[in-house]
Amino acid sequence: MSEYQTAIDPGLPDKAAEKDIISWGETFSTGIESIDKQHRHLVALTNQLYKACMVGGDSSNKAFKESMKRVVEYVRFHFHTEQEILEKINYPDILKHKKEHEALIMQILEFTTNKSETNRFVPNNFVRFLKDWIVSHIAHSDKMYGRYIEAQKKKGLLSEIDIK
């Protein structure tokens, strides 16, 4: 377990506890330490959500709901932090970036309001959707503002202090 993962429910079967749906890699790095740390934590939470889907039995629904709550709270916190930084540096594509964040929040809300208690595949599908969204958003959109910030630093228009 990495230092960024919080404890996983001890009731998980060994096989499920070993399996991650997503792994952090340097290809996701934006070059902004605080954001990369948050991204690593979001990856860990997504893995927890996935593992909660694998629990099985009556505890599966409870584990998934608890993990989902942690993911939703952290996503909101992360998006707020990221958007504050983008506003502070006058990132030119901030509106597009905010719309991507809003679209994910809407997907989460839609999922939580339409979730069927009897359909065990719905949580698993949502976790796979979340994984795909995280990978594509970080690897594309977040990397774009990372490159923008790096370019602004090289020009002397931004400093580390500006992005904290």
Q: What is the pLDDT of residues 87-139, one digit of tens each?
A: 999 999 999 999 999 999 888 887 777 655 545 456 778 888 889 998 899 98
CATH code, domain carrying 55: 1.20.120.50
Instruction: For residue 3, tell me if it sits in a domain.
Output: no
List the structure tokens of 151. Answer: 């370019």
Instruction: For residue 1, tell me if it sits in a domain.
Output: no
- Give me the pLDDT at residue 100, please: 93
Answer whether 86's CB lies under 8 Å from 144's CB: no
Instruction: For residue 2, tell me if it sits in a domain.
Output: no
Instruction: For residue 154, tell me if it sits in a domain.
Output: yes
Is the pTM for the entire model greater than 0.85? no
Domain encompassing residue 94: 14-19+31-163
Answer whether 127's CB lies under 8 Å from 50's CB: yes
Per residue in 62-83, pLDDT tens? 777 788 888 889 999 999 999 9
List the structure tokens of 4. Answer: 């960024």
